[in-house]
Amino acid sequence: MHPPPPGPLGDCLRDWEELQQDFHGIQETHRLYRLKLEELTKLQNTCTSSITRQKKRLQELALVLKKCKPSIPSEAEEAAQELENQIKERQGLFFDMEAYLPKKNGLYLSLVLGNVNVTLLSKQAKFAYKDEYEKFKLYLTIILILISFTCRFLLNSRVTDAAFNFLLVWYYCTLTIRESILINNGSRIKGWWVFHHYVSTFLSGVMLTWPDGLMYQKFRNQFLSFSMYQSFVQFLQYYYQSGCLYRLRALGERHTMDLTVEGFQSWMWRGLTFLLPFLFFGHFWQLFNALTLFNLARDPECKEWQVLMCGFPFLLLFLGNFFTTLRVVHQKFHNQLHGSKKE
């Protein structure tokens, strides 16, 4: 090889030779990465199919055990109970394993994102996404408090009200998508605390389409005051639940992917019972909103379909929030009562 010519051209050629050597190293690293990726995909498929087989056999075993339980002799009851507990424990272990394996998206995620794999492969990535979700809720709640306060006391314009309602629609839509991704990655949020965000999205969408008029003005201040109070309570919940979850995770009593919710769950019993009066007041305010809207719908001057379409979601939110919270409180008292009797 000819020696490089002196001057700037020679420096450029030397730099190019160094870049070429680095490039060959990058090519080799990328080749190894592709091989490992293929191996990873094969391992994922093998693991998924093995877990599916095991889960099917466990379900069959649990069904057989349930059928023969009434005829089991008394001396074998303890062994049968131990086997039942082991089956439940194994199912819980499979749930944790599947959080690190690709899975088909549910109906909602498939409609929104298509068949995109949203499973995060490392604990760090899962926890980082969960932490970002919690921060998103906290920051947006603060923004909603400020905007609802501005609309309620400083500005009386349908344009700013529409902007507020559009923000609510976007916020709840984003929450439902992020929660679905977190559920795919092992978060245990379920039931009503997921569904009520879909109801809130629908309610905010209807409020957004409600034209300005007599009925709207009659309900406007009540709705904005309720939104301000609800955002304040949600801020309290996120703030205190985050600290409580952090302590419980450190003690090994909660899963690392557990989330804060806009309600009350059994793990909040220690340290967060002071939130219950705020929650119940908010639930009954939702009922009051529903009754106000139903009363407005009976007004002869009421022509807007949005009045009833807002009343039903508020009633549904009250029923779901109130009875879900009441069930958690009742179960906790029931467990404490039985625990004290055993002692």
Give pLDDT tens digits along the chain (343 positions): 556 666 677 778 788 888 888 888 899 999 999 999 899 889 988 998 999 899 899 888 888 888 887 777 777 778 888 888 888 888 888 887 887 888 888 888 888 888 888 888 888 888 788 888 888 998 999 999 999 999 999 998 999 999 999 999 999 999 999 988 888 887 777 678 889 999 999 999 999 999 999 999 999 999 999 999 999 998 888 877 766 666 655 555 555 555 555 555 554 555 567 788 888 999 999 999 999 999 999 999 999 999 999 999 999 999 999 998 888 777 777 666 655 544 4
Long-range Cβ pairs for the range 236-241 (8 Å, 24+): 236/275, 236/278, 237/261, 237/262, 237/275, 238/134, 238/137, 238/138, 238/141, 239/138, 240/271, 240/272, 240/275, 241/268, 241/272
The answer to whether the CB of 294 falls within 8 A of the CB of 311 is: yes
What does DSSP assign to residue 305?
Answer: T
The torsion angle over the Cα atoms of residues 66, 72, 78 and 81, rounded to 10 degrees, is 0
Residue 131 amino acid letter = D
Please tell me the distance from the alpha carbon of residue 210 to that of residue 297, in angstroms, as a whole number: 13
Residues 6+ apart with CB under 8 A from 121: 100
Q: Tell me the one-letter amino acid at 155.
A: L
Q: Is 199 helix (H, G, I), strand (E, B) or coil?
A: helix
Q: Are 297 and 311 in contact (CB under 8 A)?
A: yes
